[in-house]
């Protein structure tokens, strides 16, 4: 199906382990984003990418690493998971710069991550 | 102080009521405004997208932006139980790309 998908949908891991969350979109959107959603904080941007091999930090990047070797994929890695990274993670995408819908972001279904 | 403020609710209304959801913001550079609907355990879904000031209508939904007051609203007419969800406002400046979200308002429409 076309759209934006995330995997896994649920993940439980232990403190100190490395975890990678996957995001895949089929729209050929240039921009991709990773957010985390926590009670009391709402949605906060972790990292974003304007194109393949171009990434930049958002509001809460510490402890996370991203890469974007292909336009359609934008994995998020927690290098050494901590309990404070327990959250729901959403990937989003939007079309290329200059388009009329640039600022419309479309979200995936989310990954619910628990760090024990 | 966060750049975008939104009352978390919860807001409970009877079916058929008119619902008003609001956000205030502090950054006068914001020009693009969005409303997202998020059902429990789902990703946010884009509902409305407006540029600058004015109104935009889509079916039962009307988005309103008042840049002079730094205030945006989403009105839902003839509310339905299926409208029960969390509504998130979001906004950005030109070339900002990253959206600034409110914390969301939880809405419950009772039959």
Residue to mutate among B10, B35, B43, with most A CBs inside 10 A, is B43
The three-point CA angle A66-B103-A100 to 5° equals: 65
The DSSP 8-state label assigned to residue A73 in this structure reads: B
pLDDT bin (cut points 50, 70, 90) of residue B31 is: confident
| Closest partner CB to B103 (pick from A42, A58, A106) | A42
Q: Which two tokens stand for residue B54?
A: 């004015």
What pLDDT digit, counting tens, does each position of B55-103 carry? 999 999 999 999 999 999 999 999 999 999 999 999 987 776 778 999 9
- DSSP bridge partners of A32: A49, A93
Nearest chain A Cα distance for residue B14, angstroms: 26
What pLDDT digit, counting tens, does each position of A1-33 carry? 569 999 999 999 999 999 999 999 998 888 999
Cα distance from N-terminal residue to C-terminal residue, chain A? 33
Cα–Cα distance, A2 to A99 (Å, whole number): 20
């Amino acid at each position: 199906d076309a759209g934006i998908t995330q995997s896994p949908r649920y993940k439980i891991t232990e403190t100190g382990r490395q975890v990678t969350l996957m995001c895949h979109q089929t729209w050929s959107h240039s921009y991709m984003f990773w957010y985390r959603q926590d009670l009391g904080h709402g949605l906060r941007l972790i990292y974003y990418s304007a194109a393949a091999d171009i990434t930049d930090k958002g509001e809460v990047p510490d402890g996370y690493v991203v890469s974007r070797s292909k336009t359609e994929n934008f994995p998020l890695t927690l290098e050494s998971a901590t309990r404070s990274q327990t959250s729901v993670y959403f990937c989003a995408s939007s079309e290329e710069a200059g388009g009329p819908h640039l600022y419309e972001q479309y979200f995936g279904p989310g990954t619910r991550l628990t760090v024990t | 102080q966060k750049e975008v403020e939104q009352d978390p609710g919860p807001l409970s209304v009877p079916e058929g009521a008119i619902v008003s959801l609001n956000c205030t913001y502090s950054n006068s550079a914001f020009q693009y405004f969005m409303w997202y609907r998020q059902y429990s355990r789902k990703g946010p879904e884009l509902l409305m997208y407006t540029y600058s000031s004015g109104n935009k209508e889509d079916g039962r939904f009307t988005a309103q932006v008042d840049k002079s007051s730094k205030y945006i609203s989403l009105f839902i007419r003839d509310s339905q139980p299926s409208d029960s969800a969390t509504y998130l406002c979001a906004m950005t400046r030109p070339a900002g790309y990253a959206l600034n979200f409110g914390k969301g308002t939880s809405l419950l429409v009772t039959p």
